[in-house]
């Protein structure tokens, strides 16, 4: 898509989401930085044991601590940023602001996956009194037992007193107490054998599947407000939705905006077809959604499409009539199909739903 069409599309999104904000202000809540998104094994928040039912309901306020025994925890920071806590580890929330997000790793290890970061975001991780600011999308590892900060992908600056140490891919800074910080290279391949790395990679793969599932649900049911976290009841966690196109996480897995969700992977069987299909199943978890979950209202403007399916046409997968259908009077796209399905393309007006 050329630059002109991209700006036209963005303008239409702004118009549509503005109407949503006016009509559906009750659904505008977003999980704050510090929200628990996944639990495995022994996880505690302020000394209280956390379970899968705590996901989406527990979040850390300033000064509060989440720690693990033999377990892992995934915590959401700003949209598109996952903080993953390893075994026998602890993190304290210092500042949960969207423009100023700061956490302190006080014990053990953590890995941070940054899939989206804006220049307005100050995203800091404190280890042993040294503050590391994450400046680019990428993957970062921190250790509080042997104080260090590693950049597996991306770029960061570690501040020790008034000194700033810039770290690029494949570099770490050692932060031993009472000694001058040391910047050096490290073996990325060795880190990739670490249990926390492998667990984080698996979680990233699941995050992509949740993204595709919820992206299609937003297309089919409406309720897209723009980039952010969206509750996916099928996976029982929050899915990240970028605002435009698609992006790639540091583990190599993609994230699709609802506009691009039709290009996402297919999984599951459909009827007598020998291929795969994908269509979200609302309420599949069988428990109430957490209070921080967004729920689209009937008639909300947003993305719409027909259910997607697998069509065997020359070995290609097909998608029926997907696209953008605004809820405003006379607005929206009516997209055409591809890969075996046919549909009218171009603009299509519509009345208020």
Q: Name the residue ranges covered by the structural domains of the chain.
A: 3-28+200-325, 35-193
Tens of pLDDT, residues 100-157: 999 999 999 999 999 999 989 999 999 999 999 999 999 999 999 999 999 999 999 9
pLDDT digits (tens, 9 = 90+) for 84-100: 999 999 999 999 999 99
| pLDDT in the model for residue 295 | 52
Count of other CB atoms within 10 angstroms of residue 136? 14
Helices (DSSP H) in 71-127: which residue ranges?
A: none
- CA pair distance 81, 1, nearest whole angstrom: 27
Residues of the chain with pLDDT under 50: 1, 5-28, 266-285, 296-353
pLDDT of residue 150: 98
Predicted pLDDT at 270: 38
pLDDT at 156: 98
Neighbours of 25 (CB within 10 A): 9
- pLDDT of 40 reads 97
Residue 217 and residue 31: Cα distance in Å, rounded? 19
What pLDDT was estimated at residue 290?
A: 72
The reported pLDDT for the residue numbered 261 is 66
Q: Name the strand (E) or helix (H) holding 278.
A: none
The residues near 83 (Cβ < 8 Å, ≥ 6 apart) are 74, 75, 76, 77, 91, 103, 110, 111, 112
pTM of the complete model: 0.73
Q: Which phi and psi angles does 196 have, rounded to 5°?
A: -65, -40
Beta carbons of 52 and 236 less than 8 angstroms apart: yes
* Model pLDDT, residue 282: 43
Tell which CATH architecture fits domain 35-193. Answer: Sandwich (2.60)
């Amino acid at each position: 898509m050329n630059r002109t069409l991209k700006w036209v599309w963005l303008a239409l999104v702004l118009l549509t989401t503005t109407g949503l904000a006016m009509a559906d202000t009750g659904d505008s809540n977003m999980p704050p930085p510090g929200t628990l998104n996944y639990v495995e094994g022994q996880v505690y928040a302020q000394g209280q044991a956390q379970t899968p039912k705590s996901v989406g309901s527990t979040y850390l306020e300033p000064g509060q601590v989440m720690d693990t025994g033999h377990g892992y925890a995934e915590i959401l920071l700003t949209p598109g940023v996952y903080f993953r806590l390893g075994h026998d580890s602890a993190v304290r929330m210092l500042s949960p602001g969207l423009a100023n997000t700061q956490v302190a790793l006080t014990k053990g290890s953590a890995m941070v996956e940054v899939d989206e970061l804006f220049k307005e975001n100050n995203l800091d991780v404190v280890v042993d009194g040294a503050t590391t600011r994450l400046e680019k999308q990428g993957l970062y590892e921190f250790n509080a037992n042997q104080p260090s900060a590693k950049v597996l992908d991306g770029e960061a600056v570690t501040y020790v007193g008034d000194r700033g140490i810039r770290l690029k891919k494949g570099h770490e800074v050692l932060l031993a107490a009472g000694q001058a910080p040391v910047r050096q290279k490290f073996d990325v391949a060795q880190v990739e054998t670490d249990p926390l790395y492998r667990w984080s990679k698996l979680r990233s793969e699941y995050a992509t599947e949740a993204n595709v599932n919820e992206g299609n649900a937003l297309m089919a049911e409406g309720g897209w407000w723009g980039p952010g976290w969206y509750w996916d009841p099928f996976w029982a966690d929050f899915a990240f939705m970028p605002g435009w196109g698609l992006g790639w996480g540091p583990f190599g897995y993609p994230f699709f905006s609802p506009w691009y969700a039709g290009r996402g992977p297919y999984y599951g069987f459909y009827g007598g077809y020998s291929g795969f299909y994908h269509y979200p199943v609302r309420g599949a978890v069988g428990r109430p959604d957490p209070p921080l979950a967004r729920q689209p209202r009937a008639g909300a403007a947003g993305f719409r499409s027909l259910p997607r399916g697998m069509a065997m046409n020359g070995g290609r997968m097909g998608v029926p009539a997907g696209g953008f259908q605004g809820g405003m009077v006379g607005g929206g796209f009516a997209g055409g199909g591809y890969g075996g399905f046919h549909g009218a393309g171009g603009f299509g007006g519509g009345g208020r739903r």
